[in-house]
Amino acid sequence: MSDASAQAAVCWQPEIERMDREALEQLQLERLEATLTRVYRTLPFYRQRLDAAGVDPDAVRSVEDLRRVPFTTKEDLRASYPYGLFAVPLRDVVRLHASSGTTGLATVVGYTRNDLRHWGSAVARVLVAGGVTREDVVQVAFHYGLFTGGFGLHQGAELVGASVIPMSSGHSRQQLRIMQDYRTTALACTPSYAMHLADELLEAGVPRGALSLRLGLFGGEPWSEGLRRQLEEKLQISATDNYGLSEVLGPGVAGECGEKRGLHLAEDHLLAELVDPVSGAPARPGAVGELVLTTLTKEAFPLLRYRTGDLTTLTTERCACGRTLARMGRVLGRTDDLLIVKGVKVYPSQIEAVLVALEGADPHYQIVLTRRASMDEATVLVEVSEAIFFDEMRRQSGLRETIARRLAEELGVHVAVRLVERKSLDRGDGKAARVVDRRGA
Amino acid sequence: MLRIRNLEVAYGRRLALRRVSLHVDQGEIVSLIGANGAGKTTLLRTVAGLVRPAGGQVLFRGRDTAGLATERVVALGCSLVPEGRQVFATMPVLENLLLGATVQYRRGRRAEVEADLARAYRLFPRLEQRAGQLAGTLSGGEQQMLAMARALMARPALVMLDEPSMGLAPLVVKDLFAAIRTVRAEGATVLLVEQNARAALRLADRGYVLETGRVVLEGSARALLDNRDVQRAYLGGEPSAAREGERP
Ligand SMILES: Nc1ncnc2c1ncn2[C@@H]1O[C@H](COP(=O)(O)OP(=O)(O)O)[C@@H](O)[C@H]1O
Ligand SMILES: [Mg+2]
Ligand SMILES: [Zn+2]
């Protein structure tokens, strides 16, 4: 443990962030009970759900009792588009955002004045945990708009008292120029955009010494320790991960402290559970599971047991930083990516990793799921170059066998492999459909 | 200081409190607001040992007080200033105050009682002027001061007040609330039940809103003052649409 962590780290709201767990549990129980009472009274959706499940909200008397309450899913939110799950009249709402959602309808979320205040302080916590102070110049390079990233980080940074540059995303060269001229010390954006900026920096020939950057506050998408190392090295910063989703709050749901060993959750505003994504039962202690969140203070858009679709771990172990708030691990993937092939769990990212590592295989691929005798089977279609496809049949079958073997080694289950012509897989609007599910067919 | 979990209180078959959880930390002023019949008095009386709960837990300074006799609860450091300023009308003010010091007398601490009396008079100088007067001849405001001063004579760590402002003129209420502030500054913790929600929330750090025996809202006093449901139900309506932005 570093010297710095021996003494308690600076917190934005120490009375919450270092609260003893017993007092926190009392607070969570009080807020959960009030939320249930309010939601049951005001929202027919939840009233019907609870009634159908035979759950009397008055009978929920502990955090464990919450497990009897049915889950709320993304589909439920879509079905109530746009305002069906608002618990207050629209005139009490002072801000509207929407979740992007690559498929289907967006989800509109509303915030009351109190909701905005809570959101701001939750983001401020994450920023301060990541090292931001009022001395910093924070360049917010998240998109400003319906997406919660830009405005979320903005109001948190402003609350901390930093000098906030509302850059939004895009216009990389301009970002870099402002970063130099305004002496930006902290960059808030997605890790992939940070990587793009780092590459642009190199390309533009800007010497690193021309920047004042010292912190990176990255979130909004899954990334890795490997990418953290690269970003910290290329930009010479300390980079922390923060997590959020607009349905629940936006950024501020959780963020890393200086220890960089898990993201502290805003447990005074949210109740976090980890469940087995298939059975919905509580995940085994220490196991990977799907994060399920219940809001505890939301006035406009409360949610009961929302399935985030994000796979992670959860621990209440004491952190060396002194915060007592539970930590989630990095998001490891999405449940909607999770494939179960012949009983074995497979993530498309694992398949991609194998393909990328193999020379000759293009990382353009598609996983086709079929079902035979109630067993799921997967076929991986891989695009190969024209030369290989037309001229070298023997090499081709060699490549196919190599891919199949390596996939079997990696995944622990055999999947069929087919080579297809370049550009034969539908890329739609730029995003290839990675998984085609024909199990129902 | 006080931690209540899933408190349930029934009068016969009728549930007055259904599932109430709340807490009051050391040094806080917490306000409990709600309409008539919401269960506020019931909650205070249960904590004070005057009503036996049907379920749940009341922890005062770590001890389960459910079912304890009132004198025991007072001795533990929790005093109630009841609804309707119940003073002994046919006794002089001084006698009323000394009745509040029963715990101290039993412990043989007469010197402390003198000091407490001096403190009560500092807090409410009018009581000293009227020390020999029968309590029944005091004005409503003075009786409320007496009720509060009497509770303080037991040196409570937690003072619970049940609608102290009821039926009093605004100026008197102002004095009374200033006294509550002083009491807190001197180290006591306060649980304040009020129908005058605005005044109570301006004084309090946090609050709970009770409706038909359940907590429907809780939060910082500021958040409750800003909550539109609270404004509509307890603060006499929301600010006019055009002036919304001007509120401090
Ligand atoms: N002694 C009692 N016997 C029967 N019912 C009671 C008694 N006291 C209160 N109640 C009922 O319990 C409910 C809660 O009352 P109370 O705690 O006095 O509310 P509040 O103080 O918020 O006005 C009310 O509906 C009231 O009619
Ligand atoms: Mg009452
Ligand atoms: Zn930590």
The residue of chain A nearest to residue B222, with distances taken between CA atoms, is A114
Interchain pair A114, B223: CB under 8 A: yes
Structural domain count, chain B: 2
Question: Distance (Å, rounded) from C-alpha A236 to C-alpha A245?
Answer: 28
**Tokens at residue A249, please?**
């709050």
| Predicted local confidence at residue A426, as pLDDT | 63
In eight-state DSSP terms, residue A72 is: B
Q: Which of B188, B231, B192 has its CA nearest to residue B208?
A: B192
Q: Are strands A270-275 and A107-111 parallel, antiparallel or unpaired?
A: unpaired
Which comes out higher in pLDDT, residue A387 or B214?
B214
The answer to whether residues B122 and B15 belong to one domain is no
Shared domain check, A276 and A176? yes
The average pLDDT across B218-226 equals 97
B56-101 confidence digits (pLDDT tens): 999 999 999 877 899 899 999 999 999 987 899 999 999 999 998 8
**Same domain (yes/no): A349, A302:** no
Find all residues with CB under 8 Å of B222, minimum gap 6, and list them: none
* Same structural domain, B183 and B207: yes
Within 8 A of B22 by CB-CB distance, chain A residues are: 30
Last residue of a domain, one of A269, A303, A335: A335
Residues A421 and A274 in one domain: no
A287, A320, A335: which is the final residue of a domain?
A335
Does any ligand 1 atom lie closer than 6 A to the CB of residue B84? no
Q: Taking CB atoms and an 8 Å limit, are A34 and B217 in contact across chains?
A: yes
Q: Which residues contact A203 (CB under 8 A, 6 or more apart)?
A: none
- The token duo for A321 is 């930083």
B217 lies in some domain: yes
**Are A122 and A252 in the same domain?**
yes
Of the candidates B111, B199, B205, B204, the one whose C-alpha atom is nearest the C-alpha of residue B155 is: B111
Strands (E), chain B: 2-11, 14-24, 29-33, 55-60, 63-64, 78-81, 158-162, 189-194, 206-211, 214-220
Give B83 Cα–ligand 2 centroid separation in angstroms.
7
CB of B38 sitting under 6 A from ligand 1: yes
Residue A301 resides in a domain = yes
Residues A429 and A290 in one domain: no
Which residues span the domain enclosing A274? 3-21+110-335
In this prediction, residue A414 carries a pLDDT of 82
Structure tokens at A66: 């919450």
Together in a domain, A306 and A355: no
Task: Please answer yes or no on whether A31 and B218 come within 8 Å at the CB atom.
Answer: yes
| Side chain identity, residue B190 | V
Per the model's pLDDT, the better-predicted residue between B110 and B230 turns out to be B230
CATH no. for residue A297? 3.40.50.12780
pLDDT at A432: 53
Measured CA to CA, the distance from residue A8 to residue A26 in angstroms comes to 24
CB of A150 closer than 8 Å to CB of A140: yes
**A245 is a domain residue:** yes
| Residue A313 domain-assigned (yes or no) | yes
Q: How many domains does chain A have?
A: 2
Q: Contacts of residue A89 in chain B, CB cutoff 8 Å?
A: 228
Smallest Cα distance from A94 to chain B, Å? 11
Residue B11 Cβ inside 6 Å of ligand 1? The answer reads yes
Out of B99, B124, B155, a domain closes at B155
Residues A185 and A206 in one domain: yes
Residues B163 and B201 occupy one common structural domain: yes
Which ipTM score applies to this complex? 0.91
CB proximity list for B23: less than 8 A, separation 6 or greater: A23, A26, A27, A30, B1, B2, B3, B4
Neighbouring residues of A298: CB distance < 8 A, sequence distance ≥ 6: A35, A87, A115, A118, A249, A269
Beta pairing, strands B206-211 & B214-220: antiparallel
Nearest CA to ligand 1 atom 7: B11
Does residue B82 fall inside a structural domain? no
Distance B161 CA to ligand 2 centre (A): 10
How big is chain B, counted in residues? 248
Residues of B in contact with A113 (CB under 8 A): 226
**Mean pLDDT of the B112-128 span:** 93
DSSP notation for A225-279: HHHHHHHHHHHT-EEEEEEEETTTTEEEEEEE-TT-SSEEE-TTTEEEEEE-TTT
Same domain, B37 and B146: no
Residue A55 lies in a domain: no
B227 contacts A37? CB cut-off 8 A: no
Distance from CA of B73 to the nearest CA of A (A): 22
How far apart CA B206 and CA B200 sit, in angstroms, is: 10
C-beta B16 within 6 A of ligand 1? yes
Q: Please say whether the beta carbons of B61 and B229 come within 8 A.
A: no
Residue from B216, B224, B244 whose CB has the most chain A CBs within 10 Å, to mutate: B216
Contacts of A38 in chain B (CB under 8 A): 216-217
Same domain, B165 and B247: yes
Residue type, A396: Q
Q: State the Cα–Cα distance between residues A426 and A441, nearest whole angstrom.
A: 19
Cα angle, residue A72 at apex, residues A69 and A75 outer, rounded to 5°: 155
- Nearest-Å Rg of the Cα atoms of chain B is 18
A236 part of a folded domain: yes
Q: Are residues A299 and A347 in the same domain?
A: no
Which CATH number goes with the domain that contains B209? 3.40.50.300
Residue A3 C-beta-side C-alpha neighbours within 13 Å: 0
User: Which CATH number does the domain housing residue A428 bear?
Assistant: 3.30.300.30
Q: Is residue B83 part of a domain?
A: no
The verdict on a CB contact (< 8 Å) between B216 and A38 is yes
Q: Which amino acid is at B156?
A: P
Considering the domain boundaries, does residue A318 fall inside one? yes
Where chain A has pLDDT below 70, the residues are: 1-8, 100-105, 337-338, 340-345, 347, 359-363, 372-376, 385-396, 426-433, 440-441
B9 pLDDT above the threshold of 90: yes
Q: B183 and B62 share a domain? A: yes
Domain-ending residue, one of B132, B155, B178: B155
Domain membership of residue B199 as a residue range = 1-77+159-248
B121 Cβ contact partners less than 8 Å away, ≥ 6 residues apart: B127, B128
Q: In this structure, what are the phi and psi dihedrals at residue B66, rounded to the nearest 5 degrees?
A: -55, 120
User: Is residue B42 lining ligand 1, measured as CB closer than 6 Å?
Assistant: yes
Give yes or no: residues A137 and A176 share one domain. yes
- In tens, the pLDDT along B134-154 reads 999 999 999 999 999 999 999
Cα nearest neighbour of A41 on chain B: B216
A143 and A237, same domain (yes or no): yes
Nearest CA to ligand 1 atom 1: B11
- Residues B164, B146, single domain; the answer is no
More confident site: B163 or A98: B163
* Beta carbons of A31 and B19 less than 8 Å apart: no
Domain boundary among the residues A283, A314, A335 is at: A335
Nearest to A58 among B18, B217, B227 (CB): B18
Contact assessment for residue A253 and residue A293, using Cβ atoms and an 8 Å cutoff: yes
Please state the φ and ψ torsions of residue A282, each to the nearest 5 degrees: -55, 135
Q: Report the alpha-carbon angle A286-A17-B59, nearest 5.
A: 90
User: Measured between CA atoms, how close is B48 to chain A, in angstroms?
Assistant: 21
Q: Do B23 and A33 touch (CB under 8 A)?
A: no
Tell me: do A412 and A354 sit in the same domain. Answer: yes
Q: Both tokens of residue A365?
A: 């691929």
Taking each helix axis from N to C end, the angle separating A21-42 and A44-52, rounded to the nearest 10 degrees, works out to: 100
Q: How far is the CA of B39 from the centre of ligand 1 (A)?
A: 6
B229's enclosing H/E stretch is helix B228-234
Comparing C-alpha atoms, which of A323, A329, A426, A321 is closest to residue A383? A426
**Tokens encoding A69:** 């309450």
Nearest to A61 by CA among A85, A91, A37: A37
Q: Do A33 and B229 touch (CB under 8 A)?
A: no
How many CB atoms neighbour CB A333 within 10 A? 17
Ligand 1 atom closest to Cα of residue B38: 22
Cα(B125) to centroid(ligand 2), Å: 28
Asked whether residue B168 falls in the same domain as residue B93, the answer is: no
Closest-CA residue of chain B to A117: B223
Same domain, B3 and B59: yes
Assigned domain for A66 exists: no
Residue A63: count of CB within 10 angstroms of its CB:
14
B22-44 mean pLDDT: 96
Indicate if B43 and B165 belong to the same structural domain: yes
Do residues B71 and B92 both lie within one domain? no
Inter-chain touch A117–B223, beta carbons under 8 Å = yes
Ligand 1: does its nearest atom lie under 6 Å from the Cβ of B209?
no
What is the count of residue pairs from A and B with beta carbons less than 8 Å apart? 53
Q: Both A248 and A382 in a single domain?
A: no
Is B15 inside a domain boundary? yes
φ/ψ bin of A385: left (φ > 0), alpha (ψ from -120 to 50), beta (otherwise) = beta
A307: enclosing H helix or E strand: strand A306-312
Q: Select from B155, B177, B199 the last residue of a domain.
A: B155
The DSSP-derived string for A161-181 is TPEEEE--S--HHHHHHHHHH
User: In this structure, are B167 and B243 located in the same domain?
Assistant: yes
